[in-house]
Amino acid sequence: MRLRHVFFALVLTSALSIPAQARADWFFTPYVGANVGGDTEKNTVNFGGSLGFMGAGVFGFEIDLGYSPNFFDNDEVTSIGGNVTSLMGNVIIGIPIGGQTGGGVRPYVSGGAGLIRSKLDDVDDFFDLTENSFGINAGGGVMIFFSDNIGIRGDMRYFRSLKKDSSDSLDLSLGSFDFWRASAGVTFRF
């Protein structure tokens, strides 16, 4: 069985096994941040948003969409640019300290898989390289709520592409494209 089939089966099983509770949290966080390390030429700005669900327990899930418009910009080569887009489905494990109403803190860890799309181009339109890769991400952060519905969120995640490897019986291995993303945003809980 392929690694991605096993992963998606685990994510689906985790999402379906979250018990229905009298109180659950849906949250939406638009964010802005910076890409650092890995394949970034220099620290570049990213922005995006995540929509997620946390049950009354400690397990949840989220969909995260991130975009880095100038990911491949380089001070030495001004004619090359490009961007990176990521769309990830993640499982979240977080403990609501202070409860799920009013103020409180929820530290968490998360990880998942999805699409990493990188586009490299030049201003003269001599070449245009676009690659869609299956990728993974893992990280953690904290959500701090000031009221029932408003808070802030800080997050740090590592992204890595996966590549098809015919010599591997699982069919996927770690790719060479990677980066870290630090982000912060206002969180709306409903």
Confidence (pLDDT) at 52: 96
Q: What is the CATH number of domain 3-189?
A: 2.40.160.20
Question: What are the residues facing 42 on neighbouring strands?
Answer: none
Confidence (pLDDT) at 79: 54
Confidence (pLDDT) at 11: 55
- What the block records as the tokens of 84 is 């990176």
| pTM, rounded to two decimals | 0.79
Confidence (pLDDT) at 185: 98
Q: How many residues does the chain have?
A: 190
Q: Where are the domains of the chain?
A: 3-189
Rounded Cα distance, 59 and 68, in Å: 29
- 3-class secondary-structure state, position 38: coil
Nearest one of 68, 70, 61 to 89, comparing CA atoms: 61
Rounded Cα distance, 36 and 25, in Å: 31
Q: Which amino acid is at 167?
A: S
Mean pLDDT by 10 residues, the chain (190 residues): 60 52 77 89 89 88 95 65 93 88 91 94 69 95 94 97 70 81 96
